[in-house]
């Protein structure tokens, strides 16, 4: 065995490895953040579609639209999504006139601190706005 053979890594080798890892991380983190943002926006859109379906069932049963997502009458059609939502606040404004119901609009608004996310809404005609 040769006594002049080093048993570890040289400092320069370790620094090169760390620099390569830092470059890879710098490229991956923005992409990861963008995909997380997209996923959270898709989650908000899906929840709005669930609200739309629940309002359609409510309309068939009650012959009017529900006014308020936290309305106890609406709870049997859909659980209020706000307590579980981390990034969006959901609201529902509906015409609850029993004779001639006009429309409703459900909106997903980003919570404070997430202002870079988009606001979404859906109405009784299933028209989606972002």
Query: What residue segments make up the domains of the chain, in order of their start?
Result: 11-129
- Does residue 3 surpass a pLDDT of 70? no
Q: Using one digit for the tens of pLDDT, what is the confidence trace for 91-121? A: 988 877 766 667 889 999 999 988 888 999 9
15: its two tokens: 């620094």
What is residue 109's predicted lDDT score, i.e. its pLDDT? 92
Phi, psi of 90 (to 5 degrees): -105, 140
Q: What are the b/e assignments for 14-40, b being 16+ CB within 10 Å?
A: eeeeeeeeeeeeeeeeeeeeeeeeeeb
Question: pTM, whole model, 2 decimals?
Answer: 0.76
Q: Using one digit for the tens of pLDDT, what is the confidence trace for 50-69? A: 999 998 898 888 888 888 88
In which band, very low, low, confident or very high, does the pLDDT at 1 lie, cut at 50, 70 and 90? low
């Amino acid at each position: 065995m040769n006594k002049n053979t080093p048993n570890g890594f040289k400092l320069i080798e370790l620094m090169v490895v760390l620099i390569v890892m830092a470059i890879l991380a710098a490229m991956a983190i923005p992409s990861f953040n963008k995909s997380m943002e997209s996923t959270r926006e898709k989650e908000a859109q899906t929840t709005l579609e669930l609200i739309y379906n629940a309002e359609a069932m409510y309309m068939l049963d009650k012959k009017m639209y529900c006014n308020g997502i936290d309305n106890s009458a609406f709870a049997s059609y859909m659980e209020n999504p706000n307590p579980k939502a981390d990034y969006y606040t959901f609201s529902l404004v509906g015409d609850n006139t029993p004779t001639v119901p006009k429309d409703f609009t459900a909106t997903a608004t980003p919570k404070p601190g997430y202002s870079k996310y988009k606001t979404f809404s859906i109405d009784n005609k299933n028209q989606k706005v972002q």
